[in-house]
Structure 1
Amino acid sequence: MTCQEAPEAVSSVSKMAYQTLQQEYLQIPVVTRAYTTACVLTTAAVQLEIITPFQLYFNPDLILKNYQVWRLITNFLFFGPVGFNFLFNMIFLYRYCRMLEEGSFRGRTADFVFMFLFGGLLMTIFGIFVSLVFLGQAFTIMLVYIWSRRNPNVRMNFFGLLNFQAPFLPWVLMGFSLLLGNSIIVDLLGIAVGHVYYFLEDVFPNQPGGGRWLRTPSIIKMLFDTPEEDANYNPLPEDRPGGFAWGEGQRLGG
């Protein structure tokens, strides 16, 4: 290889790597892609001191009196400085958000967005009473809880130390937070909101005299719904993206 060919080869490899990365990124479902990207960019902006956490946290007084309405959203996007806690939360957020979007919400983007809005609103209301200023971790626990209740037969392995059924995963995560010295209020809030959604969407409609109280507004359906890929598609719990070892699951009887 000549000196002139070397830079061209490096450029070609770089271009291929970029295209591969771009292709993988675009294969992430749209809601998962948008939310995780927003979280990463927000954290990067704080690390680079472009913004500060004081501009992001949830403060009802600043929202109502100073009209800083962006705080209703930004408090869900910041998971703290880059470190173990941030990486741990982002891995679980990406993993279980994607599994929900590609599983029980497959072809139902509008319903998934409505779940985000409902969970975020309920969490914001509860957050006022428990004085939480950042709700991203609680939102992640909510996603984990909903996934775990919809996949009760999946057997989980946590860090290679614990084996348990999927519905116990949120409680295992809460115990892990306790071991790290963190407040479990965040985890309890996520579990509570997740259970409210799960009960109203999956349990109550199937009870005698029950019905669906949660209905996705038409305008959200118009904006986000896409044609169904296959009317006969039946999502399986083992359709798991990513391949992370934390919280890996295996379907029983499979």
Structure 2
Amino acid sequence: MKLKQSSAIVALCAASSCIRVANAKLSLIHDSSYQPRPSFSITRNVVFDLRGGASKKRGGRTASLYSNSSDKKATKTATGKKKVQAHKEEKNSAVSDTFSKYKAILPVTRAYITMVGAVTLLGLVLGDELSQGLLALDPIRVMYGLELWRPFTAACFLGPPSIGWLMNAYYLFEYGSSLERAFGTAQHLVFILLQVAFLSLFSAFFGQPFFAQSVITSMLHVLSRSMPNQQVKWLIFTVPYWTLPYGLMASDVLQAGNAAAALPHVLGILSGHLYYFHKKVWPRMDGGEDWLVPPAFLTRIVEGGDRSKAKDSISIALKTRKKGKGKKLGS
């Protein structure tokens, strides 16, 4: 009996101690200062680290398995280097575009501009002194030494590369293309050859070693005489077309600060007017005849037989057509 009572007392004591421990834990949990012991738990980052997945970087950027890299693959290889074929395609497109523009220039104007570039490059290689001795117009060497290239090199040399050189080359392209488009390739070739002949005589008389600027002024003079009263814009002024050669001469004189700069322009106006008079004015007079028509063989060589035949057929058709009153539309 005593043993049963003692065991019951022990059980009651144990139960009361368990209740106290439980109450103490609950009070500690409700207390904000209580911090539980750190326990081992497998988080998401731990799982990613264990399996080698993507994790957050220091810079705030995350790696993406679906990032768009198609633009880089278009011009780069797997190693990150630029494709050789892509660079070649860009280079070939630029070169082919430039070559196509060069081929689009009219034939005589293209040949003249090519000669200007070749003579300029030769002048750079030789230097000022040697280029003056080899390329300049020298009547004695032309007549007695048979150095027949000098009139042509004197007509093509614009000086060393500079802003003035670029402007003169642009004028040569613009005015030459306009004349060749208006007169035809064969007639423009006759014009260039006559200008070289006239200006060789004038430059030899006045002691001018080069006359490429005079050729440009002669082109502009012939164009301006073809439509003299047309209003064009020059700098900030609106002037008649026939005044442009004189305006170009005045601007060069002001830039050089010397009246001698007007001489090449005066020679160009004189030689251009000789051509224009015998081509446009003299045939309109009584008994006048156009002496500057290109020969038939030159037209066939330069323009081709098909073009000359087409022009002849068109001119014959226009001359032989019957003139009538015509008919109204719908009748």
- Which of 6, 11, 14 aligns to 2:91? It is 14
Instruction: Give the AA of the match of 1:55.
Output: L
In the alignment, the residues of structure 2 paired with residue 94 and residue 153 of structure 1 have an alpha-carbon distance, to the nearest angstrom, of 23
Say yes or no: does 1:55 pair with 2:134. yes
TM-score by length of 1: 0.83
- Structure 2 match to 1:29: 106
Kept after mapping to 2: 8 A contact 1:114/1:220: no
In the alignment, the residues of structure 2 paired with residue 110 and residue 76 of structure 1 have an alpha-carbon distance, to the nearest angstrom, of 19
| SS of match in other structure, 1:157 | strand
In the alignment, the residues of structure 2 paired with residue 157 and residue 205 of structure 1 have an alpha-carbon distance, to the nearest angstrom, of 32
- Structure 2 match to 1:151: 227
Bigger shift: residues 192-201 or 85-94: 85-94
Bigger shift: residues 76-85 or 183-192: 76-85
Asked which structure has the greater RCO (Cα within 8 Å, sep 6+), the reply is 1
- Which of 266, 272, 278 aligns to 1:188? It is 266
Kept after mapping to 2: 8 A contact 1:109/1:225: yes
Following superposition, the deviation at residue 223 of structure 1 comes to: 2.2
In the alignment, the residues of structure 1 paired with residue 124 and residue 199 of structure 2 have an alpha-carbon distance, to the nearest angstrom, of 26
Following superposition, the deviation at residue 165 of structure 1 comes to: 1.6
- Structure 1 match to 2:275: 197
Instruction: Give the AA of the match of 1:186.
Output: P
Kept after mapping to 2: 8 A contact 1:29/1:101: yes
Larger helix percent: 2
Say yes or no: does 1:178 pair with 2:178. no
Instruction: Give the AA of the match of 2:194.
Output: F
Alignment of 1:1-254 (within 5 A): 1=73, 2-3=76-77, 6-49=83-126, 52-102=131-181, 104-105=182-183, 108-159=184-235, 161-181=236-256, 183-226=261-304, 227=307, 231=314
Bigger shift: residues 223-232 or 108-117: 223-232
> Which runs of 5 or more structure 1 residues have no equivalent in the other structure?
233-254
Instruction: Give the AA of the match of 2:165.
Output: F
In the alignment, the residues of structure 1 paired with residue 99 and residue 230 of structure 2 have an alpha-carbon distance, to the nearest angstrom, of 32
* Backbone CA RMSD of aligned residues: 2.0
> Which runs of 5 or more structure 2 residues have no equivalent in the other structure?
1-72, 316-331
Flag as ranges the 4+ runs of structure 1 deviating above 3 A: 48-51, 228-232
Instruction: Give the AA of the match of 1:78.
Output: F
How many residue pairs were aligned? 228
Following superposition, the deviation at residue 213 of structure 1 comes to: 2.7
Following superposition, the deviation at residue 153 of structure 1 comes to: 4.4
Identity of aligned residues (%): 25
Following superposition, the deviation at residue 21 of structure 1 comes to: 1.0
Q: Which has the larger radius of gyration?
A: 2
